[in-house]
């Protein structure tokens, strides 16, 4: 997968609430499919389907050996998606920060723009 396909797969993986919950659980540590299925009211095959999508996005991996075959989270692709959204967030935070200031200015009566004396200051 190229970087753009990778992000695409990541966003699709993150769009589903069950998959987000699975990732949140895996952030606490690796787990078997049974352990992952238990908090959800859906079947183990349904969980396996979600895991396949997460695996395709490279967000989780399963060890090939052992009967438990625990699933664990893969941090790097997750970070790529989060980094991009972080840049997007900063763009809008900066723009909206300036919009706040502009809205405040537009709502200020014009005479307040002039420097005013403090109450307790004597007249010059």
- Contacting residues toward another protein, per CB under 8 A: 3-12, 14-15, 80-81, 84-85, 87-104, 106-107
Closest approach of another protein to the CB of residue 123, in Å: 28
Closest approach of another protein to the CB of residue 67, in Å: 35
Looking at the Cβ atoms of 37 and 81, the one nearer to another protein is 81
Q: What is the maximum alpha-carbon separation in the chain? A: 88
Q: φ, ψ for residue 7 (rounded to 5)?
A: -65, -40
Looking at the Cβ atoms of 64 and 110, the one nearer to another protein is 110
Q: How far is CA 30 from the centre of its chain?
A: 21
Looking at the Cβ atoms of 93 and 121, the one nearer to another protein is 93
The residues facing 73 across adjacent strands are: 60
Please tell me the distance from the alpha carbon of residue 6 to that of residue 27, in angstroms, as a whole number.
20
Closest approach of another protein to the CB of residue 90, in Å: 5
CB 74 within 8 A of CB 60: yes
CB 78 within 8 A of CB 60: no
Closest approach of another protein to the CB of residue 70, in Å: 28
Please tell me the distance from the alpha carbon of residue 56 to that of residue 76, in angstroms, as a whole number.
14
Looking at the Cβ atoms of 7 and 33, the one nearer to another protein is 7
């Amino acid at each position: 997968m190229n970087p753009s396909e990778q992000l695409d797969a990541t966003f699709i993986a993150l769009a589903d609430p069950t998959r987000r919950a699975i990732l949140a659980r895996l952030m606490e540590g690796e787990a078997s499919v049974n352990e992952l299925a238990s908090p959800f009211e859906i079947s183990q095959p349904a969980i396996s389907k979600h895991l396949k999508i997460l695996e395709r996005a490279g967000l989780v991996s399963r060890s090939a050996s052992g009967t438990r075959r625990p699933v664990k989270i893969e941090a790097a692709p997750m970070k790529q998606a989060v980094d991009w959204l972080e840049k997007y967030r900063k763009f809008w935070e900066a723009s909206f920060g300036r919009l706040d200031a502009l809205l405040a200015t537009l709502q200020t009566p014009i005479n307040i723009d002039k420097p005013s004396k403090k109450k307790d200051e004597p007249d010059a």
